[in-house]
Structure 1
Amino acid sequence: MTTEAIHTELVALHDGTTPVRSRWSYRADQPFTVTAAFQTDRDRWVEWVFSRELLVEGLGESAGFGDVRFRPIEERGLRMLVIEIESPEGYALLELDHGAVDRFLGATEQMVPLGGEDDHFDVDELIAELTRV
């Protein structure tokens, strides 16, 4: 099983004004998910894991009903991807450059084509991991 991975840093804007560093990761051996970590004002990193399919959908139209929601917008001639993340601890609305997120997604597709995730997913390893005591 491959351990190829993609990592990139993006700067988001919180409520359209405050810069927030984020780290985006994708691993070929976990082909269905994307991980995004956002730096908080207390210099902690808060990590969110969501489906790559949700990100694909969110780049084109509003997507998500749960704790992570995406929607593309265009303001002042800039294309942005709005991310809303919500938990019992709080809520954040972040804006990222649409093109930067699209390039990250394109890099994931070079590694694992959309629809080809099953070819990279080791269900036996997952079962072994879940049943270890």
Structure 2
Amino acid sequence: MTTEAIHVELVALYDGATPVRSRWSYRADHPYTVVAAFQTERDRWVEWVFSRDLLEAGLTESAGLGDVRFSPLEDRGLNMLVVEIESPEGYALLEVDHAAVADFLDATEALVPLGSESEHFDVEALIDELTRV
């Protein structure tokens, strides 16, 4: 089976100035989730998995109550998406170009329209994966 997927690389800003590479991915066979990986060291990436609905909401208003939160920000004529990620190991506030993330979300919607995720979700495959221990 061929997996339809979208991958983009974006540069985030940490602490307002330090560039951080990030990779954003979406797979049609995991239609509810988006994966964002942030480079923390030369060969180390930290992945965060969150709902596509959360990302969509965060483009227009503050969204998220847990470990991943999004909010739009306009500052000095720049439109950014603020990404807050938190874990027991630490906290980071990153800024990503709002238009680039919106374009990524549009590409995911072209692959799997919002509201049609259940048509692309393979429950049997998930059960197989969970019981293959």
TM-score (norm 1): 0.97
* Partner in structure 2 of residue 50 of structure 1: 50
Letter in 2 for 1:17: A
**Contact 1:36 1:49 survives alignment (8 Å):** yes
Asked if residue 80 in structure 1 is aligned to residue 103 in structure 2, the reply is no
Q: C-alpha displacement at 1:41, in angstroms?
A: 3.5
Divergent runs of 4+, >6 A? none
Aligned pair count reads 133
What is the SS of the residue equivalent to 1:3? coil
RMSD: 1.0
Q: Aligned partners of 2:77, 2:83: CA distance in 1, in Å? A: 19
Q: Aligned partners of 1:43, 1:65: CA distance in 2, in Å? A: 30
* Partner in structure 2 of residue 40 of structure 1: 40
- Write the deviation string for residues 49-89 of structure 1: whole angstroms up to 9, x where unpaired: 00000000000100000000000010011110000000001
Map 1:98-109; keep pairs closer than 5 Å.
98-109=98-109
Letter in 2 for 1:84: E
Q: C-alpha displacement at 1:128, in angstroms?
A: 1.1
* Partner in structure 1 of residue 94 of structure 2: 94
Identity %: 77
Letter in 2 for 1:11: V
Q: Which moved more, 1:6-15 or 1:37-46?
A: 37-46
TM-score (norm 2): 0.97
